[in-house]
Structure 1
Amino acid sequence: MPSLKEVRNRINSVKSTQQITKAMKMVAAAKLRRAQTNITQMRPYAAMLQNILQNLSANMDQEIFSSPYIQERSPDKVLIIAISSDRGLCGAFNSNIIKATRRLLDETYAPQVAQGQVSILPIGNKVYDYFRKRDYPLVEDYRGVLQQLSFSTVKTAAEYVLKAFVAGTYDKVEIVYTEFRNVITQVVQVEQMLPVVPTQPEEGVANNSSVDYILEPSQEEIITELIPKILKMQLYRAVLDSNASEYGARMTAMDKATDNAAALIKELQLIYNRARQAAITKEILEIVGGAEALNAE
């Protein structure tokens, strides 16, 4: 059985850790409120842009509805945008992103990986560190986006991706991120960013969302402006989703850590009381034994 001093020191250590996890939970909760507000306000705008694109693609002549971002090519060169966090202590948040990215690499794009034709654009230090240590081709310029998260910083990364796709540097671009649903639930998603696949109405289903647009100055110019904007907003939404998911996962992890610390303190307190009682009993027995020896004399 450990000594009273050892148990007491361990109890104090766990209490200190519990105070840290409580503070981290409160900080994560405050940041989560802001991040949740950002993604909640962002989603209707992104959905409206996507709805406009769907209506245009469903009602325009496909010969007119053309863009370099729609051109499908053989996916010989692939870019995967993986969005993680900069720091740990957020449960399985980062490991889930890494697993989903590895699944893409090992299953979907295994031939391209074998030829060295798959690159990774990491957003977040955790996914960057993981794939850098394993010598994957990386686009490192945008891994610090989360340090100054704004549309302008994400826009810079999106513009690089768009230019690289048009130039033929990549034939296909995928985004791996975590969709925020609530504090407890975050779901890893894999979305194709490029080439854009126009959504067509299903056969036999009326297109009730069809809108007769008046396009000014021209259809071509509208499409030229609309698709890049939608793609930039798609990446920005994914980053905001991931950011909110990170704080939700961190708040949940710190809450569980605080509860585990409380349970451990209770267990250590019980061990301490037993050790203390054993020490008292031993002292009483020694006193009684000494008294009986004196009486025997």
Structure 2
Amino acid sequence: MANLKEVKNRISSVQSTQQITKAMKMVAASKLRRAQERIEKIRPYADKLTSILENVSSGNKEMTESIAYAQQRQVDRVLLVVVTSDRGLCGAFNNNALKMFTQTVEENYKRQHEAGFLWVLPVGRKALEFVKRRGYQVISDYSELFHDLTFDTAAPAAELAMDGFVSGKYDKVEIIYNSFRNVAMQILKRETFLPIKPAEVAEQAQELETDYIYEPSKEFIVEELIPKSLKIQFYKAILDSNASEHGARMTAMEQATDNAGELIKQLQLTYNRTRQAAITNEILEIVAGAEALRASK
């Protein structure tokens, strides 16, 4: 059984850890509120912009085929965008995204990877460290993007992928990220960023199709909307991941704080038992000493 000093030191150490995890939970909760507000504000705008774009481009096959971002090609050259956090201590948040990335490469793009035609755009320091350790081709470093996350700082990353697709460097661009559902739930997603999927119009959607008035022209509006819509979708994925990160960290730190509390209770019980055992031994030694003195007289 451990002595009293060792148990007391362990209790003090766990209490210090509990204070740290509690503080980290409060910081994550504060950041989560701001991140949640940002993603909830941009979702309706991004969804509506995408809806308008699909409505405008639907039913016009010639115009759709002329859109550079909608060109369907044989997938020989692939760019994967994987979004993680800059820091750890957020449970399985990063591991889940990186596991999906590895699984995607093995199951879908193993041929391209072996041929040297697979590139990675990591967003977040954990993603950058992961892909570099495993020798993937990194096209750029956006590991510090979350230090100043705005549309203006995220747009260049989207433009890099978009320009690469239009120039023919990539035949397909996919993005892997965690979508924010609530504090306790993040949904891992893998979406095709480019090429743009052909508009699939349901029967009800066809009945409710909006008849727009275009000025100066339909083609000009589409050409302006597509790049903006793609950048907004990319930015929305980054905001989703950012909110998910804070939610995952808040949950992880809350669990760590609770676990520390349980451990402190167990150690306190061990301390009391050890102390009681020490007192009992002292009493027995005193009694034994008294009996020895009595016997010697």
| TM-score (structure 1 length as normaliser) | 0.97
1:107-149 CA distance string (max 9 Å, x none): 0111111111111100000011011011100123322211110
Q: Are the equivalent residues in 1 in contact too, given 2:82–2:97 (CA < 8 A)?
A: yes
Give me the whole-angstrom Cα distance separating, in 1, the residues matched to 2:121 and 2:32: 25
Shift of 1:296: 1.5
1:44-78 CA distance string (max 9 Å, x none): 000000110121122x4211233100001111000
Aligned to 1:271: 270
Aligned to 2:11: 11
Aligned to 1:103: 103
Shift of 1:233: 0.5
Give SS of 1:225's match: helix
Q: What letter is aligned with 1:168?
A: G
Q: Are the equivalent residues in 1 in contact too, given 2:183–2:248 (CA < 8 A)?
A: yes
Shift of 1:206: 5.5
Shift of 1:265: 0.4
Q: Are the equivalent residues in 2 in contact too, given 1:53–1:198 (CA < 8 A)?
A: no
Q: Are the equivalent residues in 2 in contact too, given 1:77–1:169 (CA < 8 A)?
A: yes
Unaligned ranges ≥5, structure 2: none
Unaligned ranges ≥5, structure 1: none
Deviates more, 1:129-138 or 1:207-216: 207-216
TM-align CA RMSD = 1.1
Deviates more, 1:246-255 or 1:163-172: 163-172
Aligned to 1:71: 71
1:57-102 CA distance string (max 9 Å, x none): 22x4211233100001111000000000000000000000001101
Give me the whole-angstrom Cα distance separating, in 2, the residues matched to 1:253 and 1:205: 43
Aligned to 1:289: 288
Q: Are the equivalent residues in 2 in contact too, given 1:55–1:209 (CA < 8 A)?
A: no
Give SS of 1:47's match: helix
Shift of 1:272: 0.6
Deviates more, 1:156-165 or 1:185-194: 156-165
- Whose helix fraction is larger, Structure 1's or Structure 2's? 2
Q: Are the equivalent residues in 1 in contact too, given 2:18–2:260 (CA < 8 A)?
A: yes
Shift of 1:219: 1.3
